């Protein structure tokens, strides 16, 4: 297939899938993944196409897709940060913080144990995938919340958890990748905790500094209104890249903090920025799922079989409820509200992209030979499909 045709086909399929989802009331992620898998299985996989373009270089696909996927996720996380109003924290209180700290830690442990015992993965890969699956899917949760309309307190809690936990899960996955997978050794808690603190400090610091700088530039009218959106986007991508150069994957924290800062300052209207990001996010989510879905091998999905279904069952009915109920002990939320939160944790684009980033990273390194690493993205996509389908059906009765 001609590369130009492929570039035009991917966004067209993404928009078509999301339009069909709107017409049929189905979760858009399911249709996007279906379109992507069909594109890769029946037409062409992006890796093969990029290899042909570069004269048969099999590492061209991972090397080219890696930065593109990373930057796309940065834009999606930036847009997510722009939706987080600090005033909403009055509704959720400490619940969001508990879910993103204690809940995330419990989910990480539960995910890791389930992956190791059910799928039989080696411990180092179980740790990595367990960290990746800590994240939930704000792009899936948002439409579900609009559909079932829970209380404002529950909605704000899930909204904040869905967006804030994504960079936390991504950074946790990076630490596991560097401390456990690459080193092929047991994790050192003290060094991992130190790395987490440094990464968080760099991410928050650069995000706040970038937000303050942009606020001053826009409030003093150094940038015209029609350039607000592209200026903010350019700054977000620049800070994301700079932060990642200093501390790996701290960029996701930067763009989230930058978005939160901009949407909560009182000096100028962020309408122009939000309008651009919403349209761009819709296009990027469609393209990402189509491209990443086209890399999934149907044979690999079938090979996982019943253990994969068992993993989905464990994540939905054991790990999520346990992590929610324990982290929300003595919280302002009552039992029914906690039960609804325990019954809603679909995985989405961030889990798909982060797992693909690690797979692409491992594929691009010829010195690495990690058994089972090729199944990382496949299991993640299976979990996405399973959780979106189950939570999409169960959300309304739980509400």
Q: How does DSSP assign 170-226, residue by residue?
A: HHHHHHHIIIIITTTS---HHHHHHHHHHHHHHHHHHHHHHHHHHHHHHHTTSS-GG
Token pair 């079989």 is at which residue?
305
Cβ distance 340 to 150 under 8 Å?
A: yes
pLDDT of amino acid 255: 92
pLDDT of amino acid 154: 87
* Other CB atoms within 10 Å distance of the CB of residue 120: 10
Please state, in angstroms and rounded to a whole number, the distance separating the CA atoms of residues 100 and 7: 37
> Which of 132, 50, 112, 77 lies closest to 355, judged by CA?
132
* Other CB atoms within 10 Å distance of the CB of residue 94: 15
Pure H helices in 220-348: 228-246, 251-264, 271-294, 298-314, 320-327, 335-342
Query: Is the dihedral angle over the CA atoms 65, 66, 68, 69 positive or is it negative?
Result: positive
pLDDT of amino acid 80: 81
pLDDT of amino acid 19: 92
Phi, psi dihedral angles at 133 (to 5 degrees)? -80, 5
pLDDT of amino acid 176: 82
Cβ distance 240 to 158 under 8 Å?
A: no
pLDDT of amino acid 91: 67
pLDDT of amino acid 397: 65
Cα-trace Rg, the chain: 20
Please state, in angstroms and rounded to a whole number, the distance separating the CA atoms of residues 173 and 180: 10
Please state, in angstroms and rounded to a whole number, the distance separating the CA atoms of residues 204 and 208: 6
Cβ distance 41 to 293 under 8 Å?
A: no
Measured CA to CA in angstroms, residue 60 lies from 174, 291, 383 at distances of: 23, 15, 28
Predicted confidence pLDDT, tens digits, the chain (399 residues) = 778 888 899 999 999 999 998 888 887 888 888 898 889 888 888 877 877 777 767 666 677 787 888 888 888 888 888 888 877 777 666 888 899 889 999 999 999 999 999 999 888 889 889 999 998 877 778 777 777 778 888 888 888 888 888 888 888 887 887 766 555 555 566 666 777 788 888 989 999 999 999 999 888 888 888 888 889 999 999 999 999 888 877 888 899 899 989 988 888 777 778 777 778 888 888 898 898 888 887 787 888 888 999 999 999 999 999 999 999 998 888 888 899 999 888 888 788 888 877 777 776 665 666 666 778 888 988 998 888 888 877 766 665
Residue 151 backbone zone (phi > 0: left; psi -120 to 50: alpha; other: beta):
beta
pLDDT of amino acid 102: 92
* Other CB atoms within 10 Å distance of the CB of residue 319: 23
Contacts of 53 (CB under 8 A, 6+ apart): 3, 60
Q: Domain 62-398 class?
A: mainly alpha
- Residue 302 burial by CB count (10 A; 0-12/13-18/19+): exposed, middle or buried? exposed
Cβ distance 200 to 171 under 8 Å?
A: yes
Quote the pTM value.
0.83
**3-24 vs 28-38: helix axis angle to the nearest 10?**
150
């Amino acid at each position: 297939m001609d590369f130009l045709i492929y570039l035009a086909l991917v966004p067209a399929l993404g928009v078509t899938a999301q339009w069909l989802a709107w017409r049929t009331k189905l979760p858009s992620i399911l249709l996007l993944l279906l379109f992507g898998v069909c594109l890769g299985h029946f037409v062409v996989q992006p890796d093969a196409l990029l290899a042909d373009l570069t004269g048969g270089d099999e590492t061209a696909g991972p090397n080219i897709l890696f930065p593109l996927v990373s930057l796309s996720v940065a834009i999606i996380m930036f847009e997510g940060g722009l939706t987080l109003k600090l005033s909403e924290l009055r509704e959720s209180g400490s619940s969001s913080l508990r879910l993103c700290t204690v809940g995330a830690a419990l989910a990480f442990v539960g995910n890791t144990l389930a992956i190791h015992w059910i799928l039989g993965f080696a411990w180092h890969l179980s740790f990595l995938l367990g960290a990746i699956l800590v994240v939930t899917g704000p792009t899936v949760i948002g439409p579900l919340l609009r559909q079932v309309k829970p209380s404002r307190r529950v909605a704000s809690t899930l909204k904040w958890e869905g967006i804030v936990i994504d960079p936390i899960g991504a950074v946790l996955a990076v630490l596991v990748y560097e401390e456990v997978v690459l080193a092929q050794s047991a994790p050192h808690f003290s060094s991992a905790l130190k790395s987490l603190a440094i990464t968080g400090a760099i991410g928050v610091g650069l995000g706040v500094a970038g937000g303050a700088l942009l606020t001053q530039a826009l409030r003093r009218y150094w940038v015209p209104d029609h350039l607000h959106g592209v200026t903010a986007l350019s700054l977000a991508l620049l800070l994301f890249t700079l932060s990642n150069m200093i501390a790996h994957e701290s960029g996701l924290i930067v763009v989230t903090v930058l978005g939160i800062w901009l949407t909560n300052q009182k000096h100028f209207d962020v309408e122009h920025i939000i309008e651009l990001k919403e349209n761009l996010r819709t296009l990027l989510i469609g393209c990402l799922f189509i491209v990443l879905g086209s890399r999934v091998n149907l044979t690999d999905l079938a090979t996982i079989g019943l253990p994969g279904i068992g993993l989905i069952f464990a994540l939905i009915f054991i790990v999520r409820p346990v992590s929610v109920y324990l982290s929300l002990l003595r919280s302002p939320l009552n039992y029914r509200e906690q039960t609804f939160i325990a019954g809603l944790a679909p995985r989405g684009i961030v889990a798909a992209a982060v797992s693909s980033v690690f797979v692409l990273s491992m594929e691009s390194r010829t010195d690495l030979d990690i058994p089972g690493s090729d199944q990382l993205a496949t299991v993640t996509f299976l979990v996405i499909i399973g959780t979106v389908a189950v939570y999409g059906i169960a959300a309304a009765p739980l509400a």
